Structure 1
Amino acid sequence: MSRDAAFYEFLLRMGDNTLILGHRVSEWCGHAPVLEEDIALANTALDMIGQTQMWLGLAAEVQGEGKTADDLAFLRDAWDFRNLLLVEMPNGDFGQTLMRQFVFDAWHVLQLRALTQSTDERVAAIAAKSVKEATYHLDRSAETVVALGDGSEESHARMQAALDYLYPYVGEMFLTDAVDTMLAEAGIAPDPASLRAEFDETLARVLGEATLTLPEARRARGGGRDGKMHTEHLGHLLTTMQWMQRAYPGATW
């Protein structure tokens, strides 16, 4: 694999993560338990879609085929996506959505902080802008996890169930492949495994405050970030997200 090809794969991974999770979070619009949360989740989704525009816009530029970020978002099939399996998991109840958000945010902030030091100025610039939003997302999701985990008996049980369900997907964030190795050697992006220790510290601190028990470590469920395997949930999500562009190719407002 050439370095340009590896760089393109990396940019897809970053953009697809925020695209798919941004869409998932947007599904709460008009359905959140209270108005304040409805607005907060909508704003979180908008932040992530904005980051997607930057990552996929750069990916399209690097690909050099005259495509746009919209082309990459709406005209690829499920097997072409490079997002973490975690972000395509269903919303479930409000607790599951916020637990998924917290786990992602805890990783995302560390990734973006490292990318601000990238040897590629374009990557560093996107990361510098995105990390401010991601830091706010982490503060908010962590606070909500603590409030619900250390809340009522019902909210505690739901948050523990959400953690048990989602934790097997955490390990994929830190798997290293040839793409990661090539970019780490070039100083463009960090080795994913190098972020694990600080991530675990964040989880231990927040989950401790939330009186939640971290499940026993299990084999990481992977395949999303290298496109080898996605869950059935991604196909259903893309059917909803892409149907307008698929039904009316080239449509513009």
Structure 2
Amino acid sequence: MARLHGLRALVTGGTSGIGASIVQRFRSDGAAVVFTGRDDARGAEVESRTGASFVRADVRAPDDVRTSVGAAVERLGGLDALVANAGVLHESPLSETTDEAWDAVLATNLIGPYLYAVACLPVLRASGGGSITMTSSDAGVWGETAIGAYSVSKRAVNMLVQTLAVEAGPSGIRVNAVNPGDTAPGMATHVEGRSELGDASGWTLPPLGRVGTGEDVASAVAFFASPDGAFCNGSILLLDGGMRASLRAGAVANPAAAEGA
């Protein structure tokens, strides 16, 4: 399938996990891709495997953001799509989160995508439009106390997406978010008490009977960047295999929960 043929894309956090899956999918679908990350060795491996072009950059550093966007434009001859995927997980309830951890999570998960979006908007406008897709999380849809700062940051990303969608839409720029649930490889499956095997560790699997994969998320991101997603703007797509629906259904079916409500 080559539905992204000719697309010029910049993917942040593309050296591992979901990001590497997005780079692979975009390349398989015909896109020219520049991707960023902080690990040179992993960047070189993904670069060799996919044929995409690696730029070392830290999303927390404004100078790195500007430099990597400039490098992408130079190497690709322009830009049609930004995928703001880089993120970091911190395991702690808010009451036990240090100031340093709070700042680090927000700098990577919220300020980084904001900086990249703002840096890419003029380039996308010059291309006549395009798309920005941000990797958020199901933790941004409802609060998760075990990963408090992460949950807050992803909720903010969803609002960033919808605000940018309204601002950039008149320029033909579509801004959307994917909100993955537990994904392997991914960050959430490493939280204590969760496992890729689900029930084996006491963590309940979604109704589809498995956690998501990087390829599942990459397919959704490719849709948003493709002509098939031409009327999607401000969308917050939940990719959790039905987990949230099952939790809500369980709460209704549970008499004790119903009485508590």
Same fold (TM over 0.5): no
Query: Per residue, is there more helix in 1 or in 2?
Result: 1
TM-score, normalization by structure 2: 0.29
Query: Per residue, is there more strand in 1 or in 2?
Result: 2
TM-score, normalization by structure 1: 0.30
